[in-house]
Every structure is written in C-alpha cells, then in structure tokens.
A = this chain, B = another copy of it.
Amino acid sequence: MEKTIAVLPGDGIGPEVTEAAVKVLKSIAMRYGHTFHWNFAAIGGAAVDEFGSPLPKETVEACEASDAILLGAVGGPKWDNNPAEQRPEKGLLNIRKHFDLFANVRPVKAVPALLGSSPLKEEIAREVDMVIVRELTGGLYFGEPKRHNENSAVDTLVYTRVEIERIVDQAFEMARSRRGKLASVDKANVLESSKLWRKVVEERKAGYPDVEVEHMLVDSAAMKLITNPRAFDVVVTENMFGDILSDEASVITGSLGMLPSASIRSDGFGLYEPVHGSAPDIAGQNKANPSAAMLSAAMMLRQSFGMDSEASAIEEAVMSVLDDGYCTGDLSACGNKVISTERFVEKVIEEL
C-alpha cells in the first residue's frame, strides 16, 4: 500500500520519540512492501516560534494532504505565559476541531514488566485492560458563551444528540470487538447534558444486544478506576470527564510511558500521539522512552490503514524488548538494562 503520513514532532521529547516511530514505520514499510510518504510539519511551541501560530496554515495543509497524522507532544515552560492563541495546547485543540476528530481512544493495559512502578498494589493493577473513549470536540471545551471579565465567568457544556450518538456508537463498536462491556460515565443526577447522554446510550444499546451496558456516575468512576480497574472494558464519556478520567487511568498501571492514543473520526482518518507529555526536563538527552510513540504508530497502522499484522508486529517487538529487561532512563522500574532512546529503537527494529 501507499500512504502519506503527516508527522508533527512538536516540543520537548516530541521530536525524539516521533523520529523513533518514523524509523520503526520505515522498517515496517520495507518488510511488508508498503510505501510511506512523509509530510513533516510544525505544531505547538515549535510552530509558535517558527510561524507565530501553534497550528500554522502550512501544517493544516500538510495534514489535509495526508492519510493520517502522527504527533509527538506539545508544550513547555517557554510558552507558558503566551497569550491563549499562541499557546502550544491551542494547536492541539484546533487540530482536533479542524479535522473533526471527535473520538479520543486511549487503551490502558497493564504491562507485566512495569507493574513494579504502578502506584497500585500489584494484585489490583495486574491484568488491567481497558479502553477509554472520550468525546473530543464538544462539551465545555467549545460551547458558547465562553468568556470572563473581572467579575464573572461562564463556560458552556453543550451537546447535540448527533454528537452523542456518534461517540456512543464508536464505543459500542469497540466494546463489541473486545470483551463486550461498556461503562457509560456521566453525572445524570446533576447535569442535563448527562440526562440526554444517558437517554442516547439507552436507545443505541438496542442495536448492540451483545454488549452489556452500565451507567456510572463520574465520581463513582473516579473511585472505581483505583479500587477495581480490572472491572472496566470500554469506558465512554464526554470531553471534560474524559480528560480527567483518562489521565487518572493512565497512571494506574505504571506504564504511562507506554500508552498510545488515537483521535479519530468516522472515516478512519486520525491523529495518533503518545499520552505522555513533552517532558521538557529530559528533552534532547537521548533517554526518553519511545514506546508510546511507536505504539501510537501501530494504532495508526491498524485503525487508519487497516494494517493489522504490521501493527501487531510493532506491538510485539516493543513488548519483547521490555520483557528482555531493557528500558530507557526515564522509566523508574524496569529490568536492569537501561539503554538510550536510540539503542531502544534499534532493539525494536531488530525484533521486527
């Protein structure tokens, strides 16, 4: 197959880890006879520095001319005091909205070799295997009115039925392809938007008789993610709750440095990025863990290009390097063989 991939390295360790992912993808292309074209472009702080905007027109065009987007990370202290429109995160929010990437998909899976670095007791974190499906282009993030002055402030949580239906359907499909369990998280005892949300979930479930649905309040979900995370298979929730719960979930297994994410729309186009941030403190030191970026590339192959075996090959290669006790300097607990980012990439490519 022939595919064009937009690569947006971004800030901090973003460039190192995307470079790693690109190397792995090149190796996959060779091995499986694909041709990948690369559209490198700027985003985040790097784009503010070069173009005066966290999402320059050039970058949007590069992405529009591509079949999928691979992103590193954005943000850093350098831009923390910039005005809102010139902050790195704004690049992320804008690209999500521009491309209508309404479904943020975040798998959280316990990696046996890393359970030692989980803050949870091993018997609780062990075998956790869930996916959080977060609505990404609606709710409090974008609703109007949205403004503040010296004396008051307002944000607006709006959802249309259609926005809820499409994310809920996405989650039902995902649950069907996994263990068939869906937890829909809302705050229906307080929010009107949650009442509509719950109603839509109830309606849609008729179309998925093979999926078992549970409604859960967001406060209960925040507790259960800690006390019994194994109970979750697929979780679906609105934008703001999803932001909080997916970050909470990202630390429970001790494998934050391993977690990929996808932000997709219905036609298969998507943006793939590691969950970890730009980690400016270790940037450029050749010690960032490139696993999450590589696993994001694998997600891209599977979800946007339908390349299942290629994706699995990357996933298995990464796990096998970890199982051999190798890790990069930023992972607190691992086998005792600490190696550089570059060496880690070579090992993964050898495994492929």
Chain A residues at the B interface, C-beta cutoff of 8 Å = 87, 89, 93, 118-121, 124, 140-141, 143, 146-148, 150-161, 187, 189-193, 195-197, 218-220, 222-223, 225-227, 240-241, 243-245, 247-248, 250-252
Contact = CB atoms under 8 A, between A and B. Distances in A.
A187 to B, nearest CB: 7
Contacts of A219: 243-244, 247
Give the number of times this chain occurs in the complex, counting copies: 2
B153 A156 contact: no
A152 B161 contact: yes
A93 B191 CA distance: 12
Given A156-B157, A251-B227, A240 B187 contact: yes
Contacts of A226: 119-120, 226, 248, 251-252
Nearest to A141: B190
Contacts of A247: 219-220, 222-223
A93 B189 CA distance: 10
A240 B140 CA distance: 12
Contacts of A241: 244
Given A121-B119, A152-B159, A154-B157, A222 B196 contact: no
Contacts of A153: 158-159, 192-193, 195-197
B222 A140 contact: no
A140 B190 contact: yes
Contact of A192 (B148, B159, B220): B148
B193 A148 contact: yes
